[in-house]
Structure formats: C-alpha cells, structure tokens
A and B are shown apart, each in its own frame.
Chain A
Amino acid sequence: MSLLEIRGLTHFFGGLRAVYNFEQTLSKGELVGLIGPNGAGKTTVFNLVSGFYQPTQGEITLVGKSILGLRPHQVTAMGIARTFQNIRLWNTLTVFDNLCISQHHQLEYGLLHTVLRSRRFRENEQRVIRTAEQMLDILNLRHYAREYPKNLPYGLQRRLEIGRALCMRPALLLLDEPAAGMNPGEVDELIEHIKWIRDEFKLTIWLIEHHMRVVMNICERIKVLDFGETIAEGPPSVIRENRRVIQAYLGDEETTYA
C-alpha cells in the first residue's frame, strides 16, 4: 500500500485558488520533489498535509487512514514530520532541548507525574534524552548541545531543524526548501545528508526546492506546480525538457514586453 495518498486536493484562501485538484502518491522509501515558481502553492500543499490548514476539498490518507480534521500535533503523532521554509527553531531553548521537545507527543505522563518525578516520568525522560543524544551525534552537533540555535551558523540551523523532525521518528519527512540560503559547498553537503538520512532512517522524503541541482540530483520523481495546478510530473530527465515547465519558470516566448 502507498504511504501517502492525496486525491483531488483543493484549497481556497477566500477567493484565491491556491491549490487545485492536486494528486500525489508516495510509496515507502521514495524521494520525491515538488517544484514550481514562487506562489505556485507548494508550501500550501505541505501546510495541508501537516494539518495546519484544512483543505476545501479532497482527501489525504496516510497508510489508508484519513488525516483530515486532525490537529497538527496529531498528524505528527501519525508519522509526518516537516521542516520550515524560514527556519522555525525554538531560540530560547538549547539545541539539546529543541531535540527533546519535538518528542513531546511520545511522553506518556502528565502534570502529576512531572511534579512527583515518578518512575514513569524518569523512564520517559531517559528515553527522550537518549534519542536526543543519539541525534546530536548523528548530526555532529554535540559540541553545540548547550548553545542556543540562533547562535549557530545558518547551515547548522538547517541541519538542526531536520534533526528535530527526525527525533519524532516519522515515516514521512517533508522538507520545505532545505537548501534555501545555503552556499554551494553547503548544498553539496546537504545532498549527501538527505540521501544518507533516507537510507539510515528508512524514510520517505518529499521535498520542495528551488535549487535545481538538489532536485535533479536526488529526486526520483518530480511534480511541478504553477498557480496551484499540476503542469508536469515525471523523472528529472523528462521534467528538464518539458516545455510547460520551462515556460512557467522562464516565461512564454510569445509574450511581448513593453
């Protein structure tokens, strides 16, 4: 069975049609790209999938179960984690705490256990700390564990955000422009990183990206959006040659400019 299935997804912001009749199927272990010019509705699709918006129409299912009507943290608990276009780390919490708190949905205790420091509390807390520490090593961030995210170099902040999402142990990882603002060296590193994460955590990754080098290099399939509508889909080699895609990005040849 496919991991994520989106059927006829449509979303309006008032009178503006942001996404129209969007379809996508992701199988386990795939690495799929979503591209398109600015304002095409890519991030809106991610916001719909992560439960931040409720779609006007359409169906989203994860392993056969509908995620419509769920609040974002419930969607997260079902196994969809994401990162943000503009980095959204918790800046007054340490790097280590950032990694701990993203496991909030896995805590099996409440206020009473917290205050009494019961056995259940200690076991949960130990598990959370262990996961966070493993992640520190995986991300090579142990040196920065007690630092605040805002003091980290940009590339490391991006890496930490991916790590924070991985701490949730998701089945599907949504990356919203992971290479935005990175220099070419950092981009190369990121490409290796994403591939490695997919294999290591046996994840399905769906990513939005503007850097064609990233998309063409690592994505197995690509879908192209323009003004909320799907204009092309297929493997990178096909997308590169597609006329409508080139038009959407570079403009129409026949357009006359005054």
Chain B
Amino acid sequence: MRRFTSAASYSLFCILLIAAAHGDWINAYIQIVIMFIGINIILSSSLNLINGYMGEFSVGHAGFMAVGAYITSVLNVWLFTSSQVFGPALLSPSSAILLFPVTLLAGGVGAALAGLLVAVPSFRTRGDYLAIITLAVNYIVKSSIENMQVIGGARGFMGMRGVVNSMQDVVNLPWTLVWVCTCVGATIWILYRFVNSTYGKGIIAIRDDEIAAEIMSVDTRRMKMTAFMLSSGLAGIAGGLFAHVLGYINPGTFTIMKSTEVLVMVYLGGMGSLSGSVISAIGLTLILELFRPLQVAKWVIVPLLLILLMLFRPEGILGNRELTDVFPRLRRWFSLQERQP
C-alpha cells in the first residue's frame, strides 16, 4: 500500500492543479510560475545526478536544455503549424496532441546525445578540468544555434504558441501544465529509482573513490556515460517544456547565467539529495518571483541570501540527506529507504 501513496498523492495534486488552471481559479501568471517551478525541479534534480551523486562539477546544464528546447520546438513548428520558415504544416495540426510527447522525447534524446560531448572527456579527466569542458560545451551549443539562420539564429525562434493552441483546440485543457506535471513526476520517479539501486549507486562509488570503484567491479565508463546521458536528456526535456511554456526561445536564454541558476538550486538544496533539489527549486523560483518588484535590487538581495546560506549552512538545506532522514515519520507514507538489512 505504502508503495503507491507517493505516486497517488502526487497524481491527485496534479489533477487538482490542472482542474484549477482549467477552471480559471488560478490566473495565468500563477500558472506560469508553477510551470517554471516544475521545469526548475527537472533541471536541478537532473543536475544533482552529476554534481551531487557523481561528484563531478558540471556548469553547462543550460546547453543541454537548449538542445532539447530547439529540437522539440523546431519539430513541433515544422510538423504542426504553418510558418514562414518551414512553410505549411506537414501533418494536421490536431495530431499535435498525440505527437507532442514524442517530440518532447526526441528533444531529450538529442540532448542526451549532446551529453556524450561531456561524457567521453570525463573518462580521462575530472574535477576542475571537466568543469571547463562542460562550460565549453555550453558555449558550443549556444554559438552553434546563434549561427544557424534557418532556426532564427540570435533572433530566436517562435511559433510554439500555435502548437499549444492547436492542442487546446482538440481538447480544451492547459496542455503545457499537464506535460510539465507529467515530466516532473517521471523525472523524480526515474532518478529516485536510479539512485536507490545497486546499479545506480555505482555512481556514488565513483564520487567517493573512482579508482576503488573501477577496481572493485564498477564499469566506470559505462556508469559515467549513463549518468551524463540521463542527466542531459532530462535537461533536454525540461528545455522542450520551457520553450512551449514561454512560446519563444533565443540562444541568449541558455547561457552560463541559466546554468548557474540551476547550479545554485543544486547547492542550495544539498548535494546528493533529491528532495533537497525539489525543495530548493520551488523555494528559489518563488523567491525570485516574490522579489520581482524590487527590480535590480533583486540581484543584490538574492546573491546575498546565498552568501549567508553558504556561511551558515554550507552543505545546503538538506545536506546529503533526504527529507525522510530529517523527518523519519514521513517514512510511514513514503518509503524512501527500500533496501536496508
């Protein structure tokens, strides 16, 4: 019974949320903030796999997000809408409702393949040097997109609003919110199961002692490849969602600034803590929104909060622990520890 309570309560929450959005009980602004929270949860928890669980230092997460965002957007606009760039729609716009998840997944796969750009160098180098490589990959992606005039170059790419509208024409639901909810659930589900298996814990062994891991039977290359591709693939899906929530993307969005934002969420929540990443993604997104009226002063206050946090709690909100370690009573409903002797 306990196995399903977390899944069931999350589904119930999502259904209520979607119903509220559908019935216009919450306004469009709040809906967008909620969707950004969801996207940030996917980004921070997937980056936590690399920076927290595997102990590498990736600072180019936005690059993979960009790959996913562009692949998904271009596919959708090309297939389902008439645009100046790609001409008339290839398929009927109403089929978007069925094929949207496929394009989202295609974006994820594309981003996962881009993740190989980091995974392969990681066989030979790690730490600061790998961090520089991830930074370089971020810039390679951004600059390549800027120089591709077919997809708008530096001006950006739009038309995703049309795709969302054509989905809403078939069935009147807030489709972007539906998919954000689904993907957040799937991300947490995948990552949670991964890091709680003997297979997935191989990457924690790599963090603790890579040489011992390799000699003590862990195929470190395969594990690194799996971790990097999983992480960047999820970032790509987050990018695809981001593009459809906003309706417009340009390469300037996916710079080191965006990567840093995600990085901050990971460190804020605690390295190697999935629930920490979720909490800090929610918290930081809300704080950034609440401080919006302060305008420029926001960028003084938010970093200041960070400095204070790092001074007084350098391990992040949850440290290396999960929510159930801090509040053991939660285990009655959510069985985070499955395999203890």
Q: Is the CB of A101 within 8 A of B218?
A: yes
Interface string of B194-209 (1 = CB under 8 A from A): 1001111110110111
Q: Which of B199, B208, B226 contacts A90 (CB 8 A)?
A: B208
Across-interface contacts of A173 in B (CB, < 8 A): none
Indicate the size class of the contact surface on chain B: 20 to 34
Q: How far is the CA of A125 from the CA of B215 in the complex (A)?
A: 21
Task: Please provide the chain A residues from 109 to 130 with a CB less than 8 Å away from any CB of chain B in the complex.
Answer: 109-111, 114-115, 117, 121, 124-125, 128-129
Do B197 and A73 have beta carbons less than 8 Å apart?
A: no
Provide 29 A-B residue pairs closer than 8 Å at the C-beta atoms, listed in order of the A residue. Answer: A73-B217, A73-B220, A76-B215, A76-B216, A88-B209, A89-B208, A90-B212, A92-B208, A92-B272, A96-B340, A100-B198, A101-B216, A101-B218, A104-B199, A106-B217, A110-B199, A114-B193, A114-B199, A114-B200, A117-B193, A125-B197, A125-B339, A129-B341, A133-B341, A142-B341, A145-B340, A145-B341, A146-B341, A165-B216
Do residues A103 and B217 form an inter-chain contact, with CB atoms below 8 A? yes
A71, B217: Cα distance in complex, Å = 10
Of A115, A128, A164, which contacts B190 at CB under 8 A?
Answer: A115
In the complex, the number of residue pairs spanning A and B with C-beta atoms less than 8 Å apart equals 115
Residues of B within 8 A of A91 (CB): 208-209
- Tell me if A77 and B341 are in contact (CB < 8 A): no
Given A92-B204, A92-B207, are A104 and B340 neighbors across the interface (CB < 8 Å)?
Answer: no
Apart from A90-B212, A106-B217, A111-B199, what are 14 other A-B pairs with CB-CB below 8 Å? Answer: A73-B214, A82-B215, A90-B209, A92-B272, A101-B198, A101-B202, A104-B217, A104-B219, A105-B217, A107-B198, A107-B199, A111-B226, A115-B193, A129-B339
How many Å lie between the Cα of A145 and that of B339 in the bound state?
12
Q: Contacts A103-B198, A114-B199 known; A88 to B226 CB distance under 8 Å? A: no
* Chain B positions within 8 Å of A111 at CB level: 194, 199, 226, 230
- Which of B189, B218, B226 counts the most A-chain CB atoms under 10 A from its CB? B218
Within 8 A of B (CB), among A131-180: 132-133, 136, 142, 145-146, 164-165, 168
Query: What 1/0 mask marks residues of chain A from 75 to 87 whose CB sits below 8 Å from any chain B CB?
Result: 0110001101000
Q: Is A43 an interface residue (CB 8 A)?
A: no
Question: Which A residues are CB-close (under 8 A) to B260?
Answer: none
Q: Are B219 and A105 in contact (CB under 8 A)?
A: yes
Contacts of A201 in B (CB 8 A): none
Find chain B residues with CB under 8 A from A81 CB.
216
Whole-angstrom CA separation of A50 from B272 in the bound complex: 30
| B329, chain A: closest CB distance, angstroms | 18
B99 touches A (CB below 8 Å): no
A93–B216 touching, CB < 8 Å: no
Chain B residues within an 8 Å CB radius of A73: 214-215, 217-220
A114-B197 in contact (CB<8A): yes
From known contacts A101-B205, A136-B341, infer whether A89 and B212 are also in contact, taking CB-CB under 8 Å.
Answer: yes
Contacts of A168 in B (CB 8 A): 216-217
Which of B194, B197, B213, B220 has the largest count of A CB atoms less than 10 A from its CB? Answer: B197
Cα distance, A219 to B50, chains bound together (Å) = 45
Q: B19 at interface (Cβ–Cβ under 8 A)?
A: no
B interface, over-half SS: helix
* Cβ-based interface call for A37 (8 A): no
In the complex, whether B211 has a CB less than 8 A from a CB of chain A is yes
Compute how far the CA of A39 lies from the CA of B208 in the bound complex, rounded to whole angstroms.
27
Residue in B197, B199, B211, B320 whose beta carbon sits within 8 Å of that of A88 in the complex: B211
What is the CA–CA distance of A146 and B341 in the complex, to the nearest angstrom? 8
A233 part of interface (Cβ distance < 8 Å): no
Closest 9 CB pairs of A and B: A90-B208, A88-B212, A105-B217, A76-B217, A72-B215, A104-B218, A145-B341, A104-B217, A72-B214
Taken together as a complex, chains A and B put the C-alpha atoms of A72 and B189 apart, in Å, by 32
Question: Which residues in B have their C-beta under 8 angstroms from that of A145?
Answer: 340-341
| Residue-wise interface mask of A (194-217) relative to B, using a CB-CB cutoff of 8 A (1 in contact, 0 not) | 000000000000000000000000
B213-234: which have CB < 8 Å to A?
213-221, 226, 230
Residue of B nearest to A132 (CB): B341
Q: How far is the CA of A194 from the CA of B151 in the complex (A)?
A: 67
A31 to chain B, nearest CB (A): 22
Nearest A residue to B186 by beta-carbon distance? A115
A106–B202 Cα distance when bound, in Å, is: 13
- Most chain A beta-carbon neighbours within 10 Å: one of B190, B201, B216, B226: B216
B217–A102 contact, CB under 8 A?
A: yes
